[in-house]
Structure 1
Amino acid sequence: MAAEDLGSRLRELAPQVLGALLRRYDAFDTCEDAVQEALLAAVRQWPTDGTPDDPRAWLVTVASRRVVDHIRSEQSRRRREEVAAIQDGPDAERTPPPGEPAFGDRDDTLALLFMCCHPALTESSRIALTLRAVGGLRTAEVARAFLVPEATMGPRISRAKQRIRAEGSRFGMPSGEEYSERLGAVLHVLYLIFNEGYTASSGPDLRRDDLTSEAIRLTRAVHRSLPDDGEVAGLLALMLMTDARRATRTDPDGGLVPLAEQDRARWDIAAIEEGVGLVTDAMMRSPIGPYQLQAAIAALHVQASRAADTDWQQIRILYRILGRIAPNPMVTLNHAVAVAMTDGPCEALELLTHLDTDTRMARHHRLHAVRAHLLELAGDNPAAHDAYLRAAQLTTSLPEQRYLLDKADRLSRAGAAVDRTKP
């Protein structure tokens, strides 16, 4: 197995192995350390000894032995009680109750995602723990995703696991109302991971392809576990159709290329077709939700052969519905852009006035960037110039900053040229 294929396979198996261990031993730190040791053993042994017939079972066995070794070395009462619970030894298997899979035979990725998205954790802690435990990223990689030192991220992840333990959470799928609430948190975390990869909030690169790929991989795992959930399908469809434009979003120098100027012939047609199929099927058989609506909007964008062929009327209607069932400032901004394309920029600018007092948008560059675009469409170039500059000051993404400054500079030069023609 090639090194790249081996790494991809181990990353896919890591959360399944961790879930199997947590289901049996329920000790997050210990189990995660054991999984990492098992993965390292696989990296050393598989290239020379060959890949086992059942790679997951091999990893579960090796990791389980590491857990038991750790438990037996602990002197605390809690550890001794855990040893007593497995007194038949590290290689013995208890007989599962009727209907329960044998140890290691079940894919617990979804249950692990639910644990990482515990309601007691902050949003940033949920994301970090999900990337570390379910995504298989090393602490250093998670730290890079957050643009913080590894020395900062390590304790943050440890605190998240300690908080889960302090809450008395047991590994497994929640039920009832808690299940619905936790699933929403899982989807939101995956959505945020994807968005951070699609447009990095800061740094020199517009994209973080590792994060978008990981978000899609994890969302696929959720979809496999919940194939009939319309919102899971909608989120996966949204990611696929958005990521289909990845190669065309930057120029050779890494500069931002807006949607209307992208080379549509280079979009990933297979991803688009899969996404369109997912959202079409979901909307026909499931209650309509926010992710399905966003995916339907994405489908209208990617199915247009030219920017001029985009069905802005339908997009405007979908954003209006989305604003009713899941109102937030970003929906309002996107709705305003659609209104500008159907009813003109003045109508759209009116929509933005409702966001001026929204504390969530006070220092968000996108409000000023959208306003600048609408003002430019309305012909108010001086105001648009100032808004572009304000947006550039607020963003911490260097490609976005360069794009916004370039827009402001073009308006400034155009204004100067007009002044020179005046008598």
Structure 2
Amino acid sequence: MTPVPTEHDALARTVRVEGARILATLVRTVGDVRLAEDAVQEAVVAALGAWPVTGVPPEPRAWLTVTARRKAVDILRRERVRPHKERDAALLAELEAPDVPTDDVVRDDLLRLVFTCCHPTLAPDARVALALRTLCGLSPAQVAAVTLSSEAATSKRLTRARQKIATAGIPYRVPEPHELPDRLPAVCAVVHALYTAGHAPVDGPAAFDVDVCAEALRLAELLHELLPDEPMPAGVLALLLLTEARRPARLDDRGDAVPLQAQDRGRWDAAMIARGTALLDASLCRTHGQADVYQLQAAVAAVHARAPRWAATDWPEVVRLYDLLLSVDPSDAAALARAVATAEADGAAAGLALLDDVPAGPRRDAVRAELLARQGRPADAVRALDDALAGPATDVERRHRERRRAELARDAAGVVDAGRVASG
């Protein structure tokens, strides 16, 4: 197979890491999300043609920014027949300016784009889809996978959201202080969704996407800097830090998945854990112990972080926290996690009983297989893993399940052989 050129690798990474920044700055200038997206896309196409010939420029982000500006100028000139010519002339003058925005300006542009994506007049599902597309650079197909929707429905949702921003004149700015309470939950939900998209992808070759996780962490940091006394952004940042701290131990030297119970906790990032727990404690003090969904999830992560090993985990406390989480924000993911924690606290049978109320899916079926194996039912566990392998999964998850299935199949064969000997 022909290797992918290194220029294309550099372009892909630049677009993933810097694309949202370039887009955010263009949106500020042109006031049109769709126009800015088209210009950035044309700049990427230009880079795909130029970089393999000329080499990757010393400042890829600056190259893409300038090129995207020029593409925006071209698009505006092609559309000069439409009204608002005076406005277009002003835009052209600004777009033709040679400077590249500073990091501080880009940071502010990103915050504006986050709040634009999360305007309360947009439907909640549209906010998440638009943020995943614009802030994370995910394709409509990837957004559909993360939001458990079809690609066609996602594309329509994105189109409607862009049209609403344009026709309703939704301002591209950080809201005034009195507007923040209505906007903050949506912004926090989007930042969390971005991180989830990178931390636990539905399918694809990798177990996680480092760039997507890093972008979500950057946005969480920006939001906390903007609102340092608000408990919800602090809770989101705490959750992301405590989760990201475990990433170095999630894969072994061969790139294979390492389950949480088998991870080398010495590889967890102690500084991230310390900061995450401090943020969590401070945010809980501000809410007088009344935790929101992010604080509860961060509290679960903190319990794991404090345990020196899997067996020493305070499982009753984890179950209690998931009970609280399910009472304020029911979800299949939380129900599945509660079943796992219950199995650790009260035995496999208790966990299996709770799984009956969790909708079928690859990760639920994989958990079921492990609990069946604990009960000495390897043949049933193999069937559960067959169900898990029939659904979507990352390549890393699939390899892990295939290896586990082979182990359980050998165990099942051994049980059958032992039964034959006994009956003989």
Is 1:26 matched up with 2:4?
Answer: no
Is residue 218 of structure 1 aligned with residue 219 of structure 2?
Answer: yes
Distance 2:416 2:328 in 1: 48
- Aligned partner of 1:165 in structure 2 is 166
Letter in 2 for 1:394: G
Matched, 1:257 2:258: yes
Distance 2:407 2:272 in 1: 36
- Distance (Å, rounded) in 1 between the aligned partners of 2:253 and 2:106: 47
Classify the secondary structure of the residue corresponding to 2:277: helix
TM-score, structure 1 length as denominator?
Answer: 0.74
Q: Deviations over 1:124-146 (max 9, x none)?
A: x64564355445x4xxx646855
Partner residue in 2 for 1:291: 294
Shift of 1:158: 6.1
CA positional deviation for 1:76: 4.1
SS in structure 1 of the partner of residue 357 of structure 2: helix
Instruction: Summarize the Cα distance change of 1:177–1:404 in structure 2 as closer, same or farther, 3 Å threshold.
Output: farther
Deviations 1:27-81 (A, max 9, x none): 334456678999999x99xx88x9xxxx99xx99999899789767753453225
CA distance in 2: counterparts of 1:19 and 1:222, whole angstroms: 16
Partner of 1:247: 248
For the residue of structure 2 that corresponds to 1:394, the secondary structure is coil
Asked if 1:279 corresponds to 2:280, the answer is: yes
Root-mean-square deviation (CA), in Å?
4.4
Residue 333 of structure 1 pairs with residue 326 of structure 2: no
Amino acid in the other structure paired with 2:348: P
Of 293, 315, 318, the residue aligned with 1:315 is: 318
Q: 1:411, 1:9 → 2: CA distance?
A: 43
Q: 1:385 is aligned with what amino acid?
A: V
* Aligned-residue offset at 1:201: 1.0
Structure-1 separation of matches of 2:66 and 2:362 = 50
- CA drift of 1:113 comes to 0.7
1:75 equivalent in alignment to 2:80: yes
Question: Aligned runs of 1:142-161 on 2, under 5 Å?
Answer: 142=139, 160-161=161-162
Paired AA for residue 194 in structure 1: Y
Q: Which residue of 1 aligns with 2:98?
A: none
Q: Work out the CA distance in 2 between the residues paired with 1:134 and 1:340.
A: 38
Structure 1 alignment gaps of length 5 or more: 92-102, 356-360
Map 1:365-404; keep pairs closer than 5 Å: 365-404=362-401
State which drifts further: 372-381 or 196-205. 372-381
Please give the alpha-carbon distance, in whole angstroms, between the structure 2 residues aligned to 1:8 and 1:203. 17
> 8 Å contact 1:392–1:400 — kept in the other structure?
no
Asked whether the equivalents of residues 72 and 79 of structure 1 are also in contact (C-alpha less than 8 Å), the reply is: no
Give me the identity figure in percent.
35
Structure 1 residues 126 and 341: alpha-carbon distance in aligned structure 2, compared to 1, 3 A threshold? same
Distance 2:155 2:324 in 1: 42
C-alpha deviations, 1:147-173, integer Å up to 9, x for none?
99xx99999866653343234423234
| AA partner of residue 226 (structure 1) | L
The answer on whether the counterparts of 1:198 and 1:208 sit within 8 Å (CA) in structure 2 is: yes
Query: Tell me, what secondary structure is at the counterpart of 1:251?
Result: coil
Corresponding pairs, count = 391
Is the Cα contact below 8 Å between 1:68 and 1:83 reproduced in 2? Answer: no
Query: Residues 28 and 379 (structure 1 numbering): CA distance in 2 closer, same or farther, change over 3 Å?
Result: same
State whether residues 116 and 126 of structure 1, in contact with CA within 8 Å, keep that contact through their aligned partners in structure 2.
Answer: yes
Partner of 1:353: 356
Structure 2 counterpart of 1:403, one-letter code: H
Distance 2:72 2:404 in 1: 57
Distance 2:209 2:74 in 1: 39
